[in-house]
Structure 1
């Protein structure tokens, strides 16, 4: 009987010790994950490095050569709220995800659409913007054409290499030809010059370009493609960063700050005389 009691006591003690050890282990694991988060390195270094690619009106050069645009407002506000400095790292679009994974910067804030293919390599925050894409065409080359007629070997599209419009064009218009460029502006210029029938881009770029060159360019259809939302992109395995960025974005939507900045850059044109054309 005494032996049984001793065994029972030992068993209870082991259970109690295990119960105490589990929370301690969980706390240690949580602390380890937190210390590895990019949020901690940003706080320690006092600067957040943001990767972006130049395209209107997300991020552009003004007449003095300084970076301006919706992304710049978002990045500066984010840094201010974190109590750190901000460093923007302009990067070619087709190399921006590898550069993030390699640690060249902390986060991508560059109008990147959420796609399952990208999500295999990186994590996305909740959307901080929503912009559908429309077709911008050369009027003389496409006059009277239906949307279905754009899907032809006789039609050439221009698009930015590695960007969502290029993939959407290839999916919706598989018979058409595609010329790929490093910048949205180069794709638009091909359409303006008559070397391509059309391009596709997120609004307000197509409508802005059509207003700028009304005798040559137009937005022929009301259809909007892929209005999935744009998000911050970050390296995988960082729940702290995902949590912080999601909470920050949610707060900016609630306060109306994101909507106000979005309306300024995407619905107005007060900024156009400040930007190099």
Structure 2
């Protein structure tokens, strides 16, 4: 049976469909789900004891992701396909369910609302596991640890070694909106000059060219960008400002689906699959 990976735009037209069984590629055009379609899907889910059963019955899983957070999720403009650590992981998740995977684009500021609106079954792509999100959704078991740290220019590597060094009006910070990076900046760097940059992918280059001095991000993302651009330096990766973990986010209240996700993650760890993804995308 041929397997397909589809990319869907949550707020516009559908983008692409990749036939992974043969490597053939074909563009498709499909309208975004209407309110009526979303309501029908919610009604369909009610027919089943669990979302897990609904996914298996429909033959595909909808995965929400931003496409702007390397190395976890990246919408490659050359191929119009998603790639990254969590993208590969979700392909494995779909395979374990015996279904195809369809990626739905979301944003950090709308991710929770999109999940609650049933636009997708699971949210991935470097999502931080925390109690704020657990109040509204369910965060699965963690799969990787990280912390908040500054991505800076290599020439400034001895300049920014603490929050106090950065929390000054003269320091220009670029941050993406709606996620835990902006939350950290708003709470701890109130004296710095902060600019919200809509596209997270643009910020490292803007730091490198001197538009901004600091990007507050995850240690993992900082290491990936500093490795790709010698002008950049991932500071404090061994001693970040915070300590957190990444997890996959699903609607709360579905014990069966949550249990399946946890068992699948245990299997991924036991079989060394997450370690393989770490070596492929991060190390």
Q: What TM-score range do you get, normalising by the shorter chain?
A: 0.7 to 0.9
Q: Is the 8 A contact 2:175 2:197 kept in 1?
A: yes
Q: Deviations over 1:86-122 (max 9, x none)?
A: 1011212211110000000111122111111112211
Tell me, what secondary structure is at the counterpart of 2:115? helix
Match of 1:44 in 2: 57
Tell me, what secondary structure is at the counterpart of 1:229? strand
Q: Within 2, Cα distance between the matches of 1:33 and 1:67?
A: 30
Q: Deviations over 1:158-202 (max 9, x none)?
A: 111112122122333222232112332122233123221100222
* Dislocated runs of 4+, deviation >4 Å: 139-143
Match of 1:35 in 2: 48
Q: Is the 8 A contact 1:129 1:229 kept in 2?
A: yes
Worse-matched range after superposition: 236-245 or 199-208: 199-208
Match of 2:278 in 1: 262
Which structure 2 residues correspond to residues 187-226 of structure 1 after superposition, within 5 A? 187-214=203-230, 216-221=231-236, 222-226=238-242
Q: Give the TM-score taking structure 1 as reference length.
A: 0.77
Which structure 2 residues correspond to residues 36-75 of structure 1 after superposition, within 5 A? 36-54=49-67, 55-62=69-76, 63-75=78-90
Q: Within 2, Cα distance between the matches of 1:258 and 1:169?
A: 30
Q: Within 2, Cα distance between the matches of 1:158 and 1:261?
A: 29
Higher-Rg structure is 1
Q: Deviations over 1:205-233 (max 9, x none)?
A: 2223223332x322343422433211111
Match of 2:33 in 1: none
Q: CA separation of 1:150/1:104 partners in 2, compared to 1, >3 Å: closer, same or farther?
A: same
Worse-matched range after superposition: 156-165 or 77-86: 156-165
Tell me, what secondary structure is at the counterpart of 2:149? strand
**1:241 lines up with 2:254 in the alignment:** no
Match of 1:10 in 2: none
Question: What is the aligned counterpart of 1:99 among 110, 114, 119?
Answer: 114
Q: CA separation of 1:213/1:73 partners in 2, compared to 1, >3 Å: closer, same or farther?
A: closer
Question: What is the aligned counterpart of 2:130 among 90, 112, 115?
Answer: 115
Q: Give the TM-score taking structure 2 as reference length.
A: 0.76
Worse-matched range after superposition: 100-109 or 59-68: 59-68
Q: Is the 8 A contact 1:141 1:194 kept in 2?
A: no
Match of 2:146 in 1: 131
Q: Within 2, Cα distance between the matches of 1:110 and 1:145?
A: 28
Any stretches of 5+ residues in structure 2 without a counterpart? 1-44
Q: Is the 8 A contact 1:156 1:198 kept in 2?
A: yes
Taking CA–CA contacts closer than 8 Å with sequence separation of 6 or more, which of the two structures ends up with the larger relative contact order?
A: 1
Q: Within 2, Cα distance between the matches of 1:42 and 1:149?
A: 49
Q: Within 2, Cα distance between the matches of 1:250 and 1:258?
A: 10
Q: Is the 8 A contact 1:137 1:197 kept in 2?
A: yes
Q: CA separation of 1:245/1:186 partners in 2, compared to 1, >3 Å: closer, same or farther?
A: same
